[in-house]
Structure 1
Amino acid sequence: MIARIYQALRRRLRAKRALAAAREGSLARVRKGGIKRVLVVCYGNIYRSPFAGVSLRQSLPADIEVRSSGFHRVAGRSSPERHVIMSRARNIDLSSHRSSKVTAEDLQWADIVVLMDRHNWGLLDDLGADHSKLVWLGAFGPGDVEIV
């Protein structure tokens, strides 16, 4: 029991440190350049990451590949209709999106992995993600680094 408590506290502290360094580290990773493959992740892969993925795909040069994925155990889920409608109002089409589950191969494939929150960070850490590839989406805006 004490070992589990210790592990939980250790993980929380690591996540807090990652969050504290998120803005500066994320900006530095993107400025470094050389990005050709982007993986965008959130927990369920039905609203945040697909929306961000399509938005990036529309705004980045055509030679940059963008995928989205999540951690939910069930793949193949569609975006809820209300999110499809809200996204369409912003010229983002999620009508044909189906969720997928992130794999170690996805993490290897990506030059950067765009994440939303500390929960995503912890799950990526559990999968052995290369922390030098992790980029917090909220780091590029004026508000919180976490997008929940």
Structure 2
Amino acid sequence: MRKVLTICLGNHCRSPFAALALARRGAAELEVRSAGLIGKWAGEPANESMITAARRLGLDLTAHRGRQITLEMLSWADGVLAMDTAVLETLRAICGAANERKLGLYLGDGDVPDPMGQGQEAFNACAVLIEAGTALHVDQQ
């Protein structure tokens, strides 16, 4: 089973939803966890607007509690998926060259826009984009 870690800035909306969406699509082949670069929302539930967006897509994000990334989490993962380029660059600085091979962008060549500070429609659009991105990481044969 492949171990995947999704990372965003605060583990408050994008990365927890990505972990949930990946786990649903790849349950037989993936173990997925999420974390954030900063600990501002550590121990806190996901953003209410992302919980609502997840619910619209048939996923329940209410059990999520934020976590800040640790070196142990990075060691655990076979693959680390950053939600945007800024997060990826920070991860490169944290991980060093030895772990470069396990780092990548969730969407492959583009960023998942951060909906924080925006309305419900931005969260809904973000969730749809993240769910569509699961196809990049889960083999559906």
Q: Are residue 76 (structure 1) and residue 43 (structure 2) matched? A: yes
1:79-90 paired onto structure 2 within 5 Å: 79-90=46-57
Selected match of 1:96 from 63, 66, 76? 63
How far apart, CA to CA, are the structure 1 residues paired with 2:27 and 2:46? 26
Unaligned runs of 5+ in 1: 1-34
CA apart distance, 1:40 = 0.6
How big is each residue's C-alpha offset from its partner over 1:95-137, in whole Å with a ceiling of 9 and x where there is no partner? 1111101111111110000111121112212212511001211
Q: Are residue 60 (structure 1) and residue 26 (structure 2) matched? A: yes
Moved beyond 2 Å, runs of 4+? 61-64
1:99-110 paired onto structure 2 within 5 Å: 99-110=66-77
CA apart distance, 1:39 = 0.4
Aligned to 1:48: 14
Aligned to 1:119: 86
TM-score, structure 1 as length reference? 0.69
Aligned to 2:120: none
Aligned to 2:101: 132
TM-score, structure 2 as length reference? 0.72
Q: How much is the aligned-residue C-alpha RMSD, in angstroms?
A: 1.5
Q: Are residue 37 (structure 1) and residue 3 (structure 2) matched? A: yes
Matched AA of 1:113 = V
Selected match of 1:146 from 96, 107, 111? 111
Matched AA of 1:133 = K
How far apart, CA to CA, are the structure 1 residues paired with 2:53 and 2:111? 21
How far apart, CA to CA, are the structure 2 residues paired with 1:70 and 1:91? 24
Give aligned pairs, total.
110
Between Structure 1 and Structure 2, the one with more helix by share is 1
